[in-house]
Amino acid sequence: MSGSDPRRWLRDLRRAVARLPDLRMSRVPDAPALPVRDPWPGDPARGARLLKGELELGGGVRGLRPGFWAEPSGPMLLRAAGHGFTWLRDLRALGTDAARLRARALVSDWIATGASDPLAQRPDVAGARIAAWLGHYDFFFAAADDGFRQKLMARLVSDARSLSAALPPEEIDARALTALKGLIAAAVALPEHGGFLLRAQRFLPQEIARQVAPDGSQAERSPAALLATLQDLTEIRALLQAAQATPPAILGPAIERVAGALRALRHGDGGLALFNGSKEEHAGLIELVLTQAGRGGRTPLTLPDGGFHRLAAARTLVIADCGAPPPPGLDRSAHAGTLSFEMSIGRERLIVNCGAFPAGGAEWRDAARATAAHSTLVIADVNSSELKPEGLGRRPATVDVQRQEANGAHWLEASHDGWVKSFDAVHRRRLYLAESGEDLRGEDTIEAATPQPFAIRFHLHPTVHGNVQQDGGAVLLRLPGGGGWRLRADGAKVSVEESIYLGGPEPRRTEQVVLSGYPDGPQHVKWAISKVK
């Protein structure tokens, strides 16, 4: 054991023991003792694609048909999703006999061949699969034969034993909650295995405390991870109620805080803001998750632990990222988008970040994570945080922010030192939103001894079109509803360039307004986005 991690050694030993033949396997139940319900709706369109043998998720597609399980090809996200079986809800939403038979065939084939892929036994993947099988048991099991039933229940017990032995999981981000949810679901359906619930209850309070900050933010600083966390926590609460088990005291308040943080990171269209690996997601799903979470409260204007600020006046909303990137181990989806912002008018998005392409190849993922894919300043095309496959390398160590409000107007001043090592430079951004909501003003400054080339980017939502005006100092922005806004700048060259939007179900072409700094000019640009009267 010299030089090894004792905790990992003990975890591997427990998992090896859990995989040994169980002398009690003869006591495998005939069926789940209590029903487990999947509370989230599926997508019939995705269900139809599954009937064609295609799994679609995160903007990517992978083959999914009997015999595909052990193929180690394709993005990790899609492979993990295949083994996790949460897509059963899409087949269920389709609701046809063909969908039911395809679900059963895929479950049966996975039992026969799928477990050989080590990814299938990663704790969060196993937890998602256990919860999905139990949550849709009545759907895909109807009219199945005894042989299938015996294999399914035996596999559930075996996977739950392995999952229990794997806790606490090495993954310290939101995936740890998915693993715990799966074990609690197994405890509800298999109450004769009392150790499952005891082990989950042992780790649940400390995991909630680690994942959820006092302001309700999730440790990864990702709206997408925040939504997944709230889904898992509300499911865990329902499962514990079904098991008639006392939930930890931390659970209820955590759900309430996370729900508030999630409301703060929604735009007027009900979708998520696009920071740190997030896509818009379906507004109806987000609303359902918030309803399941329980009573609503006031939407916070600031998330001090998460580092996000919400400036709202009349119909205008600005959401700004003024927080330091998450630490190692929690930064797998982190973007180099410090001090970026998004802006929406009513239900229409105007200024956005590019979003995320989690199911894309490495080049696509890095392109979406780059500083240039965000509505902020970038120096010499160098990212404000260094992008690595496992997370971030160099990153801002200090992000300072000050906020003031008076008579309905908002001031925000923030700075970060992400380029200190590269250029001995600090980026400072000031934002002012007038009480009318019709005037957003900004200043971007580079504090450095040596002038640096820079660009300030404003990515436009695909429904917005930008036209450079004749004087070359402003761009007219047209919203789909007909409203017009003007972006003008002082101290930089104004242009409109191509961009891409990854916030929706599939990539879409769009535009970006770029303010290019002059190499020998001031390192200071003033700009404004104002409603055209």
pLDDT for residue 3: 44
Q: Which two tokens stand for residue 338?
A: 């410090």
**Section 469-475 average pLDDT:** 88
Return the domain boundaries, the chain.
Answer: 34-166, 308-531
pLDDT for residue 275: 98
Whether residue 484 is predicted with pLDDT greater than 90 in this model: the reply is yes
Residue 241 to residues 181, 185, 378, Cα–Cα distance (Å): 13, 11, 50
Whether residue 58 is predicted with pLDDT greater than 50 in this model: the reply is yes
Whether residue 9 is predicted with pLDDT greater than 80 in this model: the reply is no
**Section 3-15 average pLDDT:** 54
Q: Is the model more confident about 14 or about 369?
A: 369
Q: What fold characterizes domain 308-531?
A: Beta-galactosidase; Chain A, domain 5 (2.70.98)
DSSP 410: E
- Cα–Cα dist 508/278, whole Å: 16
Mean pLDDT over the full length of the chain = 92
pLDDT digits (tens, 9 = 90+) for 279-332: 999 999 999 999 999 877 789 999 999 999 999 999 999 999 999 999 999 999
pLDDT for residue 66: 83
pLDDT digits (tens, 9 = 90+) for 103-113: 999 999 999 98
Of the pLDDT bands very low, low, confident and very high (cuts 50, 70, 90), residue 19 is: low
Cβ atoms within 10 Å, residue 268: 15
Residue 510 to residues 278, 280, 300, 359, 481, Cα–Cα distance (Å): 18, 16, 31, 20, 17
**Section 502-512 average pLDDT:** 95
pLDDT for residue 483: 87
Whether residue 393 is predicted with pLDDT greater than 50 in this model: the reply is yes
What percent of the chain clears pLDDT 70, i.e. is strictly above it? Answer: 95
pLDDT for residue 28: 79
**Section 339-357 average pLDDT:** 97
- Which segments of 27-174 does DSSP mark as H helices, in order? 44-51, 76-84, 88-94, 97-113, 123-135, 137-141, 146-166
Evaluate whether 152 touches 96 at the Cβ level (below 8 Å): no
Q: What is the pTM of this model?
A: 0.93
Q: Quote the distance between the C-alpha of residue 404 and its chain's center.
A: 29
Whether residue 429 is predicted with pLDDT greater than 90 in this model: the reply is yes
**Section 76-95 average pLDDT:** 94
pLDDT digits (tens, 9 = 90+) for 219-235: 999 999 999 999 999 99
Of the pLDDT bands very low, low, confident and very high (cuts 50, 70, 90), residue 2 is: very low
Range with the lowest mean pLDDT among 109-123, 425-439, 456-470? 109-123
- Cα–Cα dist 285/293, whole Å: 12
Q: How many residues in total does the chain contain?
A: 533
**Section 486-499 average pLDDT:** 95
Cβ atoms within 10 Å, residue 77: 18
C-alpha closest to that of 140 among 129, 472, 490: 129
Whether residue 470 is predicted with pLDDT greater than 90 in this model: the reply is no
DSSP 85: -
Whether residue 521 is predicted with pLDDT greater than 80 in this model: the reply is no
Of the pLDDT bands very low, low, confident and very high (cuts 50, 70, 90), residue 1 is: very low
**Section 417-439 average pLDDT:** 97
